[in-house]
Amino acid sequence: MTSIHVAHAGADYDVIVGDLADARPLLERLAKGRRLPLISDERVFGLYGRVLADVASPDPVLVPEGEAAKDWRTLAHITDRLAAMDAKRGTPIIALGGGSVGDVAGLAASLFKRGCPIVHVPTTLLSQADSAIGGKTAIDASGQKNLAGSFHHPLLVLADPTLLDTLDARQLRSGLAEVVKYGLIDDPAFFDWCETNTPQLLAGDREARRAVIEHCVRAKARFVTADPDDTNGTRALLNFGHTFAHAIEGSAGNSILHGEAVAIGMALAFDFSCELGLCPAADASRVRAQLQAANLPTTISDARLVVSGEGLMNAMLADKKADADGPTLVLTQGIGRVFVAKGVDPDRLSDFLGRRA
């Protein structure tokens, strides 16, 4: 087991990467003899609920699978069930599942009785490497991705890479997009590592998976510690590819997975940066080749989406990261050299999107 500390003023926590059964004593200590409320989806609970059977309530709160869980109805369902269980304010809630379960359960925990602690037990590559760390919670609303959310940092995160053995290949590849993102942001050596090790990661090599999860958790911890509440611009770099991705997800509904939209978004961010003369074309080609090697989409047509450039532009302007001068984008000067670009020229962006959609 590896323990990675996330330092965050007043609310530090550990991310334990290793066998879930070995980490159970940590949960037992938090449970103090109580059975903790557990939020999961049917598939994940069916696969792994038994591992937590000693500490969790035998009657889990089950939510729909995937992005469909991130809505007001599910949020209300969770708080109703917590109320029916008479969960106390200090009772830790366990979220067992992928990023969608983590996002809606985290939001419910932050609201219920003005905030209950949450323990994340992420079960996808994306959630183990990224979303379970950092305290961002959200649901989608009014057609916009992550419109309603909060910051609610976890009490503990237990990431067991062996749980990924049952994850289907498409979900795994989707998680790989967020993994590659960490190389593209500020870590070219890690991008090189991803280029070499992607076949092993996809083929189920447990050592490669453990290494990649630990690397990404450490990277995310670094960003979160530098900017816990996403206010000083450091954490904004983690949104590389995401303004494009959120617009694509908003337009395409649940036919595209988050990581797939991020892969397209990162490829578009490289291409747009090249068009603006910021980034060498060779880097954009290398990134596209790496994403394609992982069988991820890199263009809107790859994902067979029917979206218009204008629709994407409107969605980008409506994104939380847009201000009066135009959208704020994370652009790049090359692999490992992303930066926040404020007030991007909307006409130039609109023209670019019109040619890509």
Ligand X SMILES: NC(=O)c1ccc[n+]([C@@H]2O[C@H](COP(=O)([O-])OP(=O)(O)OC[C@H]3O[C@@H](n4cnc5c(N)ncnc54)[C@H](O)[C@@H]3O)[C@@H](O)[C@H]2O)c1
Binding site for ligand X (CB under 6 A): 41, 43-44, 47, 65-67, 70, 97-101, 103, 123-124, 126-127, 130-131, 134, 136, 163-164, 166-167, 171, 174-175, 258-259
Among residues 27, 44, 32, 55, the alpha carbon closest in space to that of 119 is found at: 27
Alpha helix stretches (DSSP H) within 112-168: 125-126
The CA distance from 260 to 187, in Å, is 21
Of the pair 228, 259, the CB lying nearest ligand X is at: 259
Smallest gap, in angstroms, from Cβ of residue 30 to ligand X? 21
Of the pair 37, 241, the CB lying nearest ligand X is at: 241
Smallest gap, in angstroms, from Cβ of residue 47 to ligand X? 6
Smallest gap, in angstroms, from Cβ of residue 189 to ligand X? 23
Of the pair 136, 356, the CB lying nearest ligand X is at: 136
Smallest gap, in angstroms, from Cβ of residue 204 to ligand X? 12
The helix-helix angle for 169-186 and 206-226 (nearest 10°) equals 50
3-state secondary structure of 120: strand
Q: What is the DSSP string of 50-73?
A: GGGTTTB-SS-EEE-SGGGGSSHH
Smallest gap, in angstroms, from Cβ of residue 33 to ligand X? 29
- Identify any residues that bridge with 150 across adjacent strands, giving them in sequence order: 137
Among residues 345, 343, 340, the alpha carbon closest in space to that of 185 is found at: 340
Smallest gap, in angstroms, from Cβ of residue 192 to ligand X? 23
Of the pair 245, 312, the CB lying nearest ligand X is at: 245
Among residues 206, 130, 135, 163, the alpha carbon closest in space to that of 49 is found at: 163
Of the pair 30, 68, the CB lying nearest ligand X is at: 68
List all residues 6 or more positions away from 351 whose beta carbon is below 8 Å from its beta carbon: none
Of the pair 123, 290, the CB lying nearest ligand X is at: 123
Phi, psi of 70 (to 5 degrees): -90, 65
The CA distance from 122 to 128, in Å, is 5
